[in-house]
Chains A and B, each alone.
Chain A
Amino acid sequence: MDTLVQQVINGLVLGSLYALIALGYTMVYGVLNLINFAHGDVLMIGALSALSAIGVLQGAWPGLPGWTLLLLGMTAAIPVCIALSLVIERVAYRPLRNAPRLAPLITAIGVSILIETMAMLIWGRNYLTFPRLLPDAPIHLGNATISVTKVVVIVLAALIMGALLWLVQSTRLGRAMRATAENPRVASLMGVNPDSVIATTFAIGAGLAAVAGVMMEATYQVAHFYMGFIPGLKAFTAAVLGGIGNIAGAMVGGIVLGLIEALGAGYIGQLTNGIFGSNYQDVFAFIVLCTVLILRPSGLLGERVADRA
């Protein structure tokens, strides 16, 4: 029972992070039908630049409290990520918007290699330690514990997702985004500028990735030039699980995938008599992905069809 509560908490934290990242995938996929392979790397750049910013701030004003540093780090990371994402969109994706489907996908992979390699040049190939900024005294919930950082992750993710739903459902920009997703050509006839909507979508996704990246390193206290890859893949899985292109779906998919992973990792040892351990955690996401794609390719909440010629 204790494991259950603890793993549910861990799953919620992981799931909130996945959901934040998945939103970036799903929004871009919604308007462009493109898997933005470099999204995980945008997250990594956000995390590492926040780490550097926090390092500089700590050097300049040693007395700053932890939460201010975290907030400032995040505000430094968000514009970096947005700028990077806009450059990627402008340079690598926009020229290929009408090209055959494989072309932007392959370009995206190339961009991803480029970003990772550059990050390796800037920040080195070693694991970097993220300082402990928020109080680390655990909060007890029965026999399970949760740290302040993890509470912040869950609350922040919930707030952001609420705001995003409002943005997409109830604002002029949101309507333009939905119209572009539906049919860019007709949307542009109705006075929507698809280029700017697409750029805005990339920017929002990048901002969310920055927040997710900073919270991820704050939770696990490491940062690395490769840290974006696996979470990126998992978040994509979450987006597919929820129904790609569907914003609420990405949130649900993220949380569900986080729970599956945490519970799976917590119980696989018992279930298989120790033959498989928690080192197989990364396999669950892919099994989930394959199962969803085979059984229900439109995802849990999706109405979109997976197979588009």
Chain B
Amino acid sequence: MGATATAEPSNHPAPPGGRTPPRVLGAMIALGAALIVLPWAIGAFGDAWVRALCFVTLYVMLALGLNIVVGFAGLLDLGYIAFYAVGAYTYALLASPHLTEHFPALAHAFPAGLHVSIWVTLPIGASLAAAFGILLGTPVLKLRGDYLAIVTLGFGEIIRIFLNNLNAPLNFTNGPSGITLIDPVRIGSFNLAHPGTVLGMHPSSLVLYYYLLVAVALLAILVCVRLQDSRLGRAWMALREDEVAARAMGVNVRNVKLLAFSLGATFGGVAGGLFAAFQGFVSPESFSLNESIIVLSMIVLGGLGHVPGVVLGAVMLALLPEALRHTAVPLQDALFGRVLIDAEVLRMLLYGLATVGIMLYRPRGLWPAPEHGMRRAFGRVAAANGEAAKAVSGHG
């Protein structure tokens, strides 16, 4: 019994950096080409699909960010969407006429309205989100698992309540009706909303946003992969497996936890800023608890702590609503002559089922991390080991 409980020496050292095997390189090139062609191919079925793709990339960023907190560091955060909200509102306030309309002093300083460039707003949004991450992280440092979940959930709700109510006496957020007329992304003099001709082609604004979002999402993936293999990433995983042991090994638990919160939040902040720019409109409705749970289902479905799995989960669940709209609704129409369950409800139903089913039958997700990474946290082996250890300590 004791032998199974002890950690086995790592037989699979991480592959040395540097040389990428040709097979992987080929796959990456093919994937890159597919990502470039995708909007043009799928655009043939309608702009809605390209728009859905854009949301997929936003969800990929969110899922990656939440994965840092939940998957890498093992801290269950149910209020993650709050950071998305912080990023989105930061962009919205700095790049829309809202503030200058409601604060005469500001209007005096900026007669043309506030139109801060995305190069400034995005970093500000990201750092504000990171600051909120630390703000949330500091009081909950000592809490574990379930308490943490409830406090973060409460935090998410508080942010939403404030967004809903901070329209009086001073109108900061414009309340439930949200902020409109947000500037689109401008890179230099190039406006993504009115692209005109690019390289002899006439891409729609949606397609260009898609490219921008995909680029940022790829960057996010790269950052995550590099983080995972870094000293910090290993510290997170040690923390996730056993906090006491990690501390004994010299991991600075406080700093490492705060870094997880703030880095995770940064991803949310960036995604939020891009969301505001892409959508041109933000309101508290987009940042409900349901959204936090949707992002959580994505990473649970894909495979907690495993970057490719998380991306897979995000892509699957983010495409689901669009797919349901095109399959479930006509199908019900054909079968019953009317729509019994509309796509939005069906989506939540499937999310719930997926979350429960995955946890019961495939707790490590559809595309789990290789054995040596995740097994103590979510494997069946781990459960058995835990039992054995408990039994042993119980006798002592």
Contact = CB atoms under 8 A, between A and B. Distances in A.
B349 A100 contact: no
Interface in B347-382: 348-349, 351-356, 359-360, 363, 376-378, 382
Given A107-B356, A117-B352, A309 B386 contact: no
A99 interface: yes
A128 B195 CA distance: 49
Chain B interface, DSSP helix/strand/loop, else mixed: helix
A294 B356 contact: no
Nearest to B378: A100
Given A102-B145, A106-B296, A106-B359, A113 B161 contact: no
Contact of B351 (A103, A113, A277, A294): A113
B102 to A, nearest CB: 16
B158 A283 contact: yes
A240 B143 CA distance: 13
B149 interface: yes
Interface residues of B, number: 55
A309 B143 contact: no
Interface hub of A102, A236, A240, A277 (most chain B Cβ within 10 A): A102
B297 A110 contact: yes
Given A92-B356, A109-B355, A293 B146 contact: no
A94 to B, nearest CB: 10
> Which one of B74, B145, B161, B162 has the highest number of Cβ atoms from chain A below 10 Å of its Cβ?
B145
A101 to B, nearest CB: 5
A35 to B, nearest CB: 4
B293 A109 contact: yes
Contacts of B144: 101, 307-309
Interface string A103-137: 11111011111101110110000000000000000
B355 A113 contact: yes
B147 A275 contact: no
A286 B355 contact: no
Interface string B310-354: 000000000000000000000000000000010001001101111
13 contacts: A98-B383, A106-B359, A107-B356, A109-B78, A109-B293, A110-B355, A113-B349, A282-B157, A286-B154, A289-B150, A290-B139, A293-B147, A307-B144
Interface of B: 70, 74, 76, 78, 139-140, 142-147, 149-151, 153-155, 157-158, 161-162, 164-165, 169, 242-244, 289, 293, 296-297, 300, 341, 345, 348-349, 351-356, 359-360, 363, 376-378, 382-383, 386-387, 391, 394
